[in-house]
Amino acid sequence: MSNLYQDSDYTQTALAPFGPIGIISHTANRDFARKVSDVLSSKRKKRLEEHTNPYVDTPGYARTNYIIDSSNTRFQSGEAKFTLGESVRGHDIFIITDVLSHNLEFNLASSSHVISADDHYMDLLRIISVCSGKAKRINVIMPFVYEGRREKLDSHRESYDCADMLKKLYKLGVANLIIFDPHDGRIANAVPLMSIEYPKCQYKLTSSLLTRFGSIKLDKESTIVVTPDESGMSRGIFYSSHLNLPLGIFYRDRDYTVKVNGEHPIKEFRYLGDDVTGRDILLIDDMINSGSTMLRTAAKLHAKGAKDIYCIAPFGLFTEGFEVFDKAYSDGIIKAVCCTNLNYHPEEIFSHEWYLEADMVPYIARIIEALNLDESVYDLINSTTRLTELAHQIRLGEIFDEFSE
């Protein structure tokens, strides 16, 4: 009989762990990694007590701590070394790195030096080199992809940094790379044989916003999704299509007759989309750097009569401080700014009323466990279904509210 008929009733079975999980963190997200470890420990302890998995008794499966003891030493010359405090042989290693963290310093010569993204990347290579050949598998969770904004060549006289970074990780033996909401997913073409997953933050960002602001109505008459420029159109389409909301976009009208600092200057930001008067705005972008683009767009929408403007981005850097956001909030231009905790934020940010953080710790823990058990992660990383279901639940709630009035 053909195998097609023999296996027609096949269902996914529980697989043995690839190896004991080991988590290594070396940047400002050590507390984040600790929380991920705590979530894993809690879930696996419960399974051990209830014996709901045939592999709960596997050595290293259920532990109170999955963090690997390690240290990163900096020398005054600027050089460094990474040291493991315990063996990683046979482990399924997950390195969690935050190349955006900027709160760590060391003494360089006679002055203090802030550890940059380049420094964090070199430290990541040091960790991989120490684990390579000993760990059973090496996985890297890099939420914000290093040099992700240099994903294509504008000129053959420029460096091709993102592709070089990916090739280096592959050559050092990284099996899985997890990055969130990259500027351009085509960067994976640089390393076609390395597994790269792109989990999305949209579900958690949206659900966190709706939990905080229950007044937001997900219907076409009340809310519009807007992107600040044409480069974010695909991201805006994702939100608008799965939330069933109209999409607006700002088009940058450039003067192609002249160049300033190598670029054609922008003559006008032109809004293309439905009338925003009296409607809430979900202003979507991939990241907030200084905030100038997001706030400039919000100001134009506010001037056009928009109601409440909610700024949404997976990564918030706030490189020029929070004052400009404080002013925009006090002037009524923005209602809130929602970002994830996938990158470092100073404690000061939580004192600002406009800031809302989406907690990605449980999501990261779930991804780690799925990879460790060789589960399919497609449904897990694809937020399409969950986002659509969330919108459906919101609308059902509105229907029930109408009947109860």
Half-sphere exposure of 238 (CA within 13 A, CB side): 20
**Per-residue pLDDT, 3:** 54
- CA–CA dist 53, 376 (Å, integer): 17
Give the integer Cα–Cα distance in Å for 65 and 377. Answer: 24
Tokens representing residue 17 in the block: 């762990």
Please say whether the beta carbons of 176 and 142 come within 8 A. no
259 class by beta-carbon count within 10 Å (0-12 exposed, 13-18 middle, 19+ buried): exposed
- Report whether 214 contacts 261 (CB < 8 A): no
CA 58 to chain centre: 32
b or e along 68-94 (b: 16 or more beta carbons within 10 Å of the residue's beta carbon)? bebebebeeeeebebebeeebeebbbb
pLDDT digits (tens, 9 = 90+) for 308-323: 999 999 999 998 899 9
| CA gap 48, 56 in Å, rounded | 5
Give me the residues paired with residue 338 across strands.
312, 356
Report the C-alpha gap between 190 and 168 in whole angstroms: 11
Residue ranges and CATH numbers for the domains of the chain are 21-199+362-374 (3.40.50.2020), 202-341+386-399 (3.40.50.2020)
Q: What is the pLDDT of residue 401?
A: 40
Q: Exposure string (b/e) for 166-180, b if CB count within 10 Å is 16 or more?
A: beebbebebbbbbbb
Give the separation between CA 224 and CA 244, rounded to whole angstroms: 10
Strands 174-178 and 195-197, bridge-based pairing: parallel
| DSSP-derived 3-state class of residue 140 | strand
Nearest to 266 by CA among 230, 313, 241: 230
Report which of 248, 246, 247, 249 is spatially closest to residue 230, judged by C-alpha positions. 249
The DSSP code sequence of 249-273 is EEEEEE-TT--BTTBPPEEEEEEES
Q: Yes or no: say if 112 and 123 are a contact pair by the CB < 8 Å rule.
A: no
The 3-state DSSP class for residue 382 equals coil
CA within 13 Å, CB half, 244: 14
Contact indicator for 216, 245 with CB cutoff of 8 Å: no
Q: How much is the pTM?
A: 0.87
Could you tell me the mean pLDDT of each successive run of 10 residues in the chain, 405 residues long? 51 78 90 95 91 85 94 88 94 95 81 88 95 95 86 65 92 94 84 90 91 90 92 86 91 72 70 94 93 93 96 93 96 97 92 96 93 80 65 48 37
pLDDT tens string 262-317: 666 676 778 999 999 999 999 999 899 999 889 999 999 999 999 999 999 999 99
Backbone phi, psi, residue 2, to 5°: -65, 145
In angstroms, the CA 209 to CA 312 distance is 9
pLDDT at 405: 37
pLDDT value at residue 255: 65
